[in-house]
């Protein structure tokens, strides 16, 4: 821009003022009609005052800072509203009601009443919370409980609206009206938690109001009082305008935003999406971290962990696995896919399965190379024969260890047992250890999975505080209980069932790859690459950012206090006032931008490993 005409400079600055200043100006004028003085309007007035005495760059910078902050806040609010609306899509629009005469009627799911009997066909979503009256199937209810495996449902079992039915047909009696289902309560809790968080902004608004009123009164008094005592107009106006500039909170604004925004940008480069500067501040304040299990601490998909054979039926573990995988190959069940994947990984060749059939909740049977192979639940396959004591012991041992036991029977004789379990994410143990060091408190597990599986995973990580079998509202209760005990809870989850707890927690982190849309939208931050090691790193980075904010506020307050005192008690030259004001702004700005460096993230990680306890 050097050498360009002055009118070009002024035109560009005017565009900057208009683009960033129209919205706070409009908001401030609306506040005035309600007899409130909005700090945004005061900032616009300060920017215009700076321009009036030739400091147009200073005013433009102030406008840009406030416009950017407002845009980030609006974006985060809109994303939260969209996430709640997206949850409603999980409930089916219609349901098939069975009348007393046996006829079927398709009605809106919202019209279902308690006592109605609905037919849920294979692959359909359940339309209401209810109890199974007839049929058997495997229902994927990960959206509600977070369980990685479909849950077998039989007569008398409970099913939830929004869950997905497997291969069997179910007749379900409606137990709760549409507005009181578990899914509807999830929506209500997310909205309630969002409202609760918004109320915390009331304190900030009160501070802004008092500051705004104080600034206006001080400026008017500094101008009007000397004039009433006969002071000259020109020097009095100059002193008042100098006060307006040196008391302008540009440095205070820059004291807060650059460190936080720089830390947000740095975290984003390392795979953590932090949705706002307020969130980044809260991350470092966390005193306990609560983890969901499935899809968070674990990968969320079962794998074959053990193959145990009985002598006399098959010759080796490989033969048993090959037969089981051949029989399971046509099945779409999650456990079947895990057995087939294990066989492929072991380099085994699979035979074609003939006469294949599947019984929901029980298992499969097929003829493989002329041999009848059955793969299914111990309750089904061991209940029709006199089981060998070794088989019973193997099944009990696997289940006590939190694994899922699958029995393989060949030509009517039990040949062995296959154990399956979810696996820990890489680096989970190290991340848990680092988090415990940073927060000074061991992490907690909150999961909808069964207690044995939860304790098995927790024991591998050294976590002793485990809450299992929790429904979404029970996870919220657990979070609130922790916070009632004085903790600031960071919840890490991935499923729709985690959304209410993510919203209720002090801060919520969602797993980016495996996370549901609602979890991603409700959470305050997203771990994009599902790397658990980023959790202790972002906590450490947040704490460093907060320390920089504190240091910047001290620097900015010191400059403002000295310059204001000089202007009120002495004769502060306008150029020196502008230089001091701009100098403090530059100092705090550059200090905050230090967190943009890659070394800032590495520094946080190094402190975790080599300076244990310092950050806690």
- Distance (Å, rounded) from C-alpha 285 to C-alpha 269? 22
- Distance (Å, rounded) from C-alpha 256 to C-alpha 279? 13
Q: How many CA atoms lie within 13 A of 336 on its CB side?
A: 21
User: What are the DSSP calls for 496-554, one per residue?
Assistant: GGGHHHHHHSSEEEEETTT--HHHHHHSSEEETT--TTHHHHHHHHHHHHHHHHHHHHH
Residue 498 annotated to the active site: no
Neighbours of 156 (CB within 10 A): 8
- Distance (Å, rounded) from C-alpha 353 to C-alpha 351? 6
Q: How many CA atoms lie within 13 A of 238 on its CB side?
A: 11
User: What are the DSSP calls for 84-131, one per residue?
Assistant: HHHHGGGS-SEEEEEPTTS-EEEEEGGG--TT-EEEE-TTPBP-S-EE
CA 554 to chain centre: 33
Residues near 463 by beta carbon (within 8 Å), at least 6 away in sequence: 291, 432, 442, 443, 444, 445
Angle at 359 between CA 357 and CA 361, to 5 degrees: 150
| Sign of torsion over alpha carbons 269, 273, 277, 282 | negative
**Encoded tokens for 215:** 């600034």
Spatial CA neighbour of 16 closest among 43, 47, 40, 38: 47
**What does residue 9 show for φ and ψ, rounded to 5 degrees?**
-60, -50
- Distance (Å, rounded) from C-alpha 381 to C-alpha 371? 16
Catalytic-role residue among 129, 138, 292, 524 = 292
Q: Residue 353's beta-bridge partner residues?
A: 368
State in Å, rounded, how far the first CA of the chain is from the last one: 49
Spatial CA neighbour of 461 closest among 492, 435, 497: 435
- Distance (Å, rounded) from C-alpha 255 to C-alpha 252? 5
Q: Which residues are catalytic?
A: 292
């Amino acid at each position: 821009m050097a050498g360009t005409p002055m009118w070009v400079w002024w035109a560009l600055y005017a565009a900057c003022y208009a683009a960033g200043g129209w919205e706070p100006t409009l908001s401030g004028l609306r506040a005035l009609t309600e007899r409130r003085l909005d700090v945004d309007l005061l900032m616009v007035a300060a920017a215009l005052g700076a321009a009036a005495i030739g400091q147009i760059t200073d005013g433009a910078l102030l406008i840009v800072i406030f416009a950017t902050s407002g845009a980030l806040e609006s974006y985060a609010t809109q994303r939260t509203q969209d996430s709640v609306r997206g949850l409603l899509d999980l409930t089916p629009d219609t349901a098939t009601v069975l009348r007393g005469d046996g006829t079927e009627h398709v009605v809106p799911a919202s019209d279902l009443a308690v006592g109605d009997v609905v037919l849920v066909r294979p692959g359909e979503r359940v339309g209401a919370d209810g109890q199974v009256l007839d049929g058997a199937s495997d229902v994927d209810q990960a959206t509600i409980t977070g369980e990685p495996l479909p849950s077998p449902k039989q007569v008398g079992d409970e099913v939830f609206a929004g869950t997905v039915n497997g291969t069997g047909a179910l007749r379900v009696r409606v137990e709760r009206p549409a507005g009181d289902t578990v899914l509807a309560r999830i929506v209500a809790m997310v909205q309630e938690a969002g409202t609760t968080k918004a109320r915390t902004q009331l304190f900030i608004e009160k501070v802004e109001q008092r500051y705004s009123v104080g600034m206006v009164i001080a400026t008017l008094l500094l101008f009007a009082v000397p004039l009433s005592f006969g002071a000259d107009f020109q020097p009095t106006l100059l002193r008042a305008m100098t006060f307006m500039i040196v008391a302008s909170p540009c440095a205070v604004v820059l004291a807060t935003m650059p460190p936080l925004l720089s830390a947000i940008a740095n975290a984003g480069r390392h795979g953590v999406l932090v949705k706002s500067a307020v969130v980044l501040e809260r991350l470092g304040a966390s005193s306990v971290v609560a983890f969901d299990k499935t899809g968070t601490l674990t990968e969320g998909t079962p794998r074959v962990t053990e193959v145990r054979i009985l002598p006399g039926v098959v010759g080796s573990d490989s033969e048993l696995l090959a037969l089981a995988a051949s029989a399971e190959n046509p099945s779409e069940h999650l456990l079947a896919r895990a057995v087939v994947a294990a066989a492929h990984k072991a380099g085994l060749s699979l035979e074609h399965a003939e006469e294949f059939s599947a019984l929901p909740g029980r298992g499969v049977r097929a003829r493989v190379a002329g041999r009848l192979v059955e793969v299914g639940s111990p309750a089904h396959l061991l209940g029709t024969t006199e089981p060998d004591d070794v088989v019973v012991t193997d099944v009990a041992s696997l289940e006590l260890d939190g694994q899922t036991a699958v029995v393989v029977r060949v030509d009517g004789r039990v040949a062995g047992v296959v154990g399956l379990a979810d696996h820990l994410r890489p680096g989970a143990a190290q991340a848990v250890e680092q988090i415990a060091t940073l927060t000074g408190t061991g992490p907690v597990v909150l999961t909808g999975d069964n207690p044995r599986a939860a304790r098995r995973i927790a024991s591998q990580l050294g976590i002793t505080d485990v809450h299992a079998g929790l429904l979404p509202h029970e996870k919220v209760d657990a979070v609130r209980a922790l916070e009632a005990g004085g903790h600031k809870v960071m919840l890490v989850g991935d499923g729709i069932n985690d959304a209410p707890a993510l919203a209720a927690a002090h801060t919520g982190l969602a797993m980016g790859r495996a996370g549901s849309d609602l979890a991603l939208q409700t959470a305050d931050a997203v771990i994009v690459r599902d790397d658990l090691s980023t959790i202790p790193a972002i906590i450490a980075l947040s704490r460093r950012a907060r320390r920089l904010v504190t240091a910047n506020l001290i620097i900015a307050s010191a400059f403002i206090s000295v310059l204001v005192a000089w202007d009120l008690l002495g004769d502060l030259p306008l150029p020196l006032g502008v230089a001091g004001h701009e100098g403090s702004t530059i100092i705090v700005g550059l200090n905050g931008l230090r967190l943009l460096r890659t070394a800032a993230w590495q520094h946080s990680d190094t402190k975790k490993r080599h300076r244990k306890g310092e950050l806690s």
